Structure formats: structure tokens, C-alpha cells
Amino acid sequence: MKEFVNNSNNLKPLLRRGWGGLASVNWGIIGCGNVTELKSGPAFNKVEHSRIVAVMRRNAVKAADYAQRHGIPKWYSDANQLINDPQVNAVYIATPPDTHASYAIQAMRAGKPVYVEKPMARNYQECQEMIRVSKETGMPLFVAYYRRSLPAFLKVKELIFDGIIGKPLTVNIRLHKSSGEKDQFPEKQSWHVNPEIAGAGYFYDLASHQFDFLDFVFGPISEVHGIAKNLAGFYTAEDTVSAAFAFDSGVSGTGSWCFVVPKGTEEDIIEITGTKGEISFSSFQYGDVKLTTPEGTVSFSFQNPENIQHYLIRQVVQELRGEAKCVSTGYSAAHTSWVLEEIVKGYYNG
């Protein structure tokens, strides 16, 4: 677990060995599915010194359609061709997690930096191998944990670091979602509940954002215990999870995740309590940040960019140009994967 930790010093080999930076970042996208339509894809062409030059999808018709609709000059149905395209000098991997490691490793060995969707890979071992190749090749590796760059989440971090709630004591996460119709019929189920593809279930897809952000605020979790169960029986992955965890900084936390609650009972909240107050906010509804102290409650509202990954993609491009650092790296993302794996390991290894 301690081999790869969230430490800015670990970025130095990625920026010093065998790679000197890019004047213009020409992206190739592997996997142009739903996440790239609005959340990420358009932002690559909005950031200065960045553009998409090629996309790949195994379905050639859909790849061609995506390229035409988004004004992208080239498309492929073979990832090898995109990775080896001489015009592509950076690769964004937006496929399901089962191919994150293989595509990322192939791209880095081809001399191209990588920005990969979250979770970083199916398991911590795959994350370690990705980092090993990143160090070996000198290619930078980033992961799409974009909450580290969104205004509301930065406000949470600011309030904590400014001491507004005093010394942080505890964190409590509650994410309860109702099951959709597709979850209840095997032929309609998403890859998100197929552990062979996703690594686990919805817990990996959603809780990964929460744990990564808390890592950003408090530093790495050093102790974690979890219980994962499948209580509704709709699919093979876990659907109900509880956990207790502690950060190196001393803050302790608990969490509850359930993806089969009745409609009308859904909940999405993180509460951070300190000696002088409490901060509460949602992870996925992008509501207000609420600060409660003995003087009362204050709410802070924020506007997200049209493309939710825009600010993080801008950081990636700036680092690839040698102008700034990106806050979400393979090192921090791998630690998040370790935390997730520790929580559900009893369900999959028991």
C-alpha cells in the first residue's frame, strides 16, 4: 500500500526523464462514449494549446459519427492505429476500466502522456503497473478526478484550511440511490455492475470520486475497514457497503453506500465536522456548500463549467506544456483504488 503515495515529489521523475514537454497538445481519444459527449470531450478543444486530432471506437460507424459531429479530422476503430498516429502526442482513455491499464501502458510505451478516466483501473495491482511504466518511460499519467478542480469542492478545502470549522475531527459519507429498471434485468445491466469490467459495482464508480476528493483535502487514508454485501440480488456486484477509515492527518471517517434503496429515500451528502463547526455538501448533485457554526448556517453557491472536466483538462494541458502542475495524478488515484479495494475485498475474496 505504501509503495505509491500521494506526494508531489513523486511527480519529478515523470517530468524529468525522457520527456521535455509539448508546445501544443494533440489529443487522441480512445473510447468516445457518453462521458466524452459533454463531460469531457468538448473541453479538449476549448483549452488553449489543446485540440482533438483523432478518436477511436471499436464500432467504426459510431466512431465516424462522433468525429463528424464534433469536427474531429480522423477516426479509427483500432486503438493501435490511434496510439501510433504521429499527429497524436497525448492520449485520453475513456473506455470502461478493464482496458484502462492496457491502453495506458501501450500509449506510454509509445512515448505519449496519458489522461485516463476514473477509477484508474479495475484494481490496485493494475494501477501499480501503470505507475511503473510511467516511471520507466518518463510519461506523465493523470486521472480524471475532476472534483479536485471544481469551485464548490475547492471552497470546502479552503474553509477547512482556513480553520473556519476549527480542527477537523470526523467525516461522514452517505450515498443512497434507488435501483433503475435496467439494474433488475440482466440483459439491460450496465458494465458498471460487472466486476470483470468495472472491478466492482457502482461503489467503485461513485465512491471513487468521494474518496479521491477527501484524499485531496486531508491527505491519504492509512487505515480502512469495510463490509460489502449484495442484498437485492439484481447483479453479482455488491450493492450495499459500509466503511470506517482514518487519515494520516488524524481525521476519522465513516461511510454508507446503498444502490437499491426505494425511490424517495435517496441521499447524497458528505459531512465534515470540526471543533468549531461543520461543512456539508453533495458529491453528485452539485448543490450548495453549507457551513454551520454557532453563529448559524451560511450557504455558498457555485457555477460549474459547461464541460465538467474543463478545469482539470486545462491543468493537464498546462502541465504537459511545463506551465503548471495538475492536482490529479496516477499516484493519488492509485491510492484511491487501494482504499476502494480494501473496503470490498471481503465480498470478493471471502
Domain locations in the chain as residue ranges: 8-146+308-329, 151-303
Write out the CATH class of domain 151-303: alpha beta
Average pLDDT of the chain? Answer: 94
Q: What is the pLDDT of residues 171-194, one digit of tens each?
A: 999 999 999 889 999 999 999 999
The predicted structure's pLDDT at residue 180: 87
Record the pTM.
Answer: 0.93
Instruction: Answer for the pair 39, 62: CB distance below 8 angstroms, yes or no.
Output: no
The predicted structure's pLDDT at residue 85: 98
- The whole-angstrom separation of Cα 16 and Cα 138 is 7
CB count in 10 Å sphere of residue 12: 10
Full DSSP string of 231-253: -S-SSSS--EEEEEEEETTS-EE
Confidence of residue 19 (pLDDT cuts 50, 70, 90): low
Mean pLDDT of the 333-347 span: 98
Confidence of residue 20 (pLDDT cuts 50, 70, 90): low
Of 120 and 4, more confident:
120
Mean pLDDT of the 81-96 span: 98
Instruction: Answer for the pair 280, 270: CB distance below 8 angstroms, yes or no.
Output: yes
pLDDT at 3 over 50: no
pLDDT at 206 over 90: yes
CB count in 10 Å sphere of residue 114: 26
Write out the CATH class of domain 8-146+308-329: alpha beta
To which residue does cell 435501483 refer? 179
The predicted structure's pLDDT at residue 6: 36
pLDDT at 2 over 60: no
Mean pLDDT of the 133-161 span: 98
